[in-house]
Amino acid sequence: MPFLLTLVAAAALVLPACAPASAQQFDRPAGWLVRFDDDRAVEEDLETFVSMPPGWHVTSGPAAIYWHPEQVASGRYRVEMEVYLFDPGARREAFGIFVGGRDLESADQAYAYFLIRDGGEFIVKRRAGADAPTLEPWTAHRAVRSYADRGDEASVRNLLAVDVDEKRVRFLVNGEEVWNGPRGDLPLDGTYGFRINHGLNLHVARIEATGRGS
């Protein structure tokens, strides 16, 4: 049975730029679940996952998905994730959105995911049990902002979006489409959340779905 982590919560107001220094003042978010890719991972491997309004702060351990069971989107919808990357050092680990989650606590887990990484690249994959086939390999795109693009700020902001209609799915970064494909190529109806690979320091300011009608 893969390791599944149920977390407890609190809330307080802090700006994303303050997140690294302030994370210890906050508690785990209520009702959220975490599943590590590695079945051998344990709770202590996750360094920080706390409610820090606006959003959540994560200092990741092993690669994992994070979600709340009430986060469900189907039909025509758009999911957006506003995320701030703090200094990744030499690591180019990935982070982003997953959608279409089903059976996330079982060996038959399934979801689609759209990730970016420092250096200005994105990837599109899906999860089918133990398999993770790639639909679009790591691809450079000017829309993806790297840590080096932050200017005088402590972090760099990216806005990711998954836009789904009856026939196609589009993936966008900072308002610019980077990939699109047939709806039938990916699992798209189900739970949504975020995915973070190992050793990253991030603030997820928001992740939310909006319907687009039938």
pLDDT at 20: 56
Residue with tokens 């997140």, as numbered in its chain? 19
Give the domain CATH number at 52.
2.60.120.200
9 Cα distance to chain centroid: 19
What is the pLDDT at residue 139? 98
In this structure, are residues 83 and 202 in contact, taking their beta carbons and an 8 Å threshold?
Answer: yes
At 10, give phi and psi (nearest 5°). -165, 180
CA distance 36 to 1: 11
- Return d(Cα 72, Cα 67) in angstroms, integer: 10
- Short-list 178, 213, 208, 181, CA closest to 71: 208
Q: Which residues of the chain have pLDDT under 50?
A: 1-15, 213-214
Token look-up 């995915």 returns 195
- Identify the pLDDT of residue 7: 41
Domain tally, the chain: 1
- The range of the structural domain enclosing residue 120 comes to 4-211
Q: In sequence order, what DSSP letters do the residues of 31-64 get, joined into one string?
A: T-EEEESSTT--GGG--EEEE-SSSEEEE-SS-E
Report pLDDT for 155: 97
Task: List, in sequence order, every residue forming a beta bridge with 159; answer none if it has no partner.
Answer: 82
Residue 16, pLDDT score: 57
